[in-house]
Amino acid sequence: MKIYKNVLSDNTFIEMQNELNLFTKSQKWGVNRLTWDNYLLEGMSGICLATHTSDVVKKLIHTDIKHYLPENCFNIVTQYYYWGKHSGIAWHKDSAHLFGATIYLNVEWNINHGGLFVWEDKTGQHVHRPEYNSMIVNDDDEYHMVTSVSAEAPYDRLTIQIWGELNE
């Protein structure tokens, strides 16, 4: 895993916020209970909503982060994720992709509210606390998970999920 800070520009955040304001009133969101494989839901009882970013926002994100990504990455998939109370994702790998990445969008996040990124590598297990505008990249196909968001969290955990693809 690699962790980077301050990865998105202010302009990208403005465009994302404008887009999210439009998208939150639309009916274009998928639900984890309907779209994820059952093993990803194990131990999680909450709802995670997801929708693809627009092509405009996808290009802005790619421009901002491309120097952090593997050189052989020709295409990325970008999605907004709203992680509601009790949502998370069980241990898994992103083996179908060149890499998986998460960018954290909450300006503040209390570590006691869960939603922590946990991964395992050769040296053991590690935990990453969601931090605004930071990105974690899994390009080593390591097992990872997101702990359940607490019922006490005052707001949803918001991220951009990114997957790298070899094909154009």
* Structure confidence at residue 95 (pLDDT): 86
Q: How many domains does the chain have?
A: 1
In the prediction, which pLDDT does 139 show? 86
The burial of 82, by beta-carbon neighbours within 10 Å (0-12 exposed, 13-18 middle, 19 or more buried), is given as buried
Please report the pLDDT score of residue 97 as a whole number: 87
Per-residue pLDDT of the chain (168 residues; tens, 9 = 90+): 999 999 999 999 999 999 998 898 877 899 999 999 999 999 999 999 999 999 999 999 999 999 999 887 778 999 999 999 999 999 999 888 889 999 999 999 999 999 999 999 999 999 999 999 999 999 888 999 999 999 999 999 999 999 998 665
- Position 63 scores a pLDDT of 94
Q: Give this prediction's pTM.
A: 0.93
Q: What distance in Å separates the CA atoms of residue 59 and residue 30, rounded to the nearest whole number?
A: 22
Q: Which domain holds residue 26?
A: 2-165
Classify the C-alpha dihedral 157-120-112-103 as positive or negative: negative
Distance CA 93, CA 3 (A): 17
CATH code for position 49: 2.60.120.620
Position 140 scores a pLDDT of: 86
